[in-house]
A and B are shown apart, each in its own frame.
Chain A
Amino acid sequence: DSGVTQTPKHLITATGQRVTLRCSPRSGDLSVYWYQQSLDQGLQFLIQYYNGEERAKGNILERFSAQQFPDLHSELNLSSLELGDSALYFCASSVGLAEYYNEQFFGPGTRLTVL
């Protein structure tokens, strides 16, 4: 158990819909990262937040957005869903930023299925 929690574990929805994925980082971790893993592929970095502020952006679609709240939990919002958005979405957390080595701890993921 990494200490990172994600809800829900599974989500099934229809095209065109909007969903929200939630992540609670490990106690004390200020950075939260979101990754997308499509079927049998590596993880693609989407976005990172540090202490409530966006710090880095990767291959995140405009239909996707995220935020980190004062209690440090984060939400990833996916809208106008398409079949290709079906994937495993991981959240990871780390203590700080990238100025020194800090390990990212991964949550169990949320499996999103778009029908």
Chain B
Amino acid sequence: AQTVTQSQPEMSVQEAETVTLSCTYDTSESDYYLFWYKQPPSRQMILVIRQEAYKQQNATENRFSVNFQKAAKSFSLKISDSQLGDAAMYFCAYRSENNNDMRFGAGTRLTVKP
């Protein structure tokens, strides 16, 4: 079974600085999708960025980018120019190409200091 591990329960960053959140996963599949979701205090799940495993190029969405290392089964999220509104729980998630459910990590709580 696929598992997703987020080894950092909490992280903090100074406003305007850069922070990297770690995620590793375990799978024997070759094709799958990886996601980072943001959950602010409102509890709404918001998709931040996604990566298809067959794509070698790392995904980027404005200030958010990933470092996808397929061989190492690592999928970290980099937030540049951190803003106060980035403070939230961040969840890494895995979905195989053929399964319908997503496996989530335990989350990393990000605090942004002004």
Contact = CB atoms under 8 A, between A and B. Distances in A.
Interface stretch (B12-20, B62-70, B76-84, B97-105): B97-105
B104 A106 contact: no
Contacts of B105: 42
A42 B50 contact: no
Contacts of A88: 43
A98 B98 contact: yes
B44 interface: yes
The range of chain B's interface size is 20 to 34
- Which residue, of A42, A45, A58, has the highest number of chain B Cβ atoms within 10 A? A42
Contacts of B42: 108
Nearest to A103: B47
B100 A55 contact: yes
Interface string B86-112: 000001010111111111111100000
Q: How large is the interface on A (under 10, 10 to 19, 20 to 34, 35 or more residues)?
A: 20 to 34
Contact of A41 (B4, B93, B107): B107
A103 B33 CA distance: 10
Nearest to A31: B100
A83 interface: no
A5 interface: no
Interface string A80-115: 000000001010100001110101101011010000
Given A45-B101, A108-B43, 13 more contacts: A33-B100, A41-B107, A42-B107, A43-B102, A45-B102, A56-B99, A92-B45, A101-B33, A101-B52, A106-B44, A106-B45, A109-B44, A109-B45
Interface of B: 4, 33, 42-47, 50, 52, 91, 93, 95-107
5 contacts: A40-B107, A42-B91, A42-B104, A44-B104, A98-B100
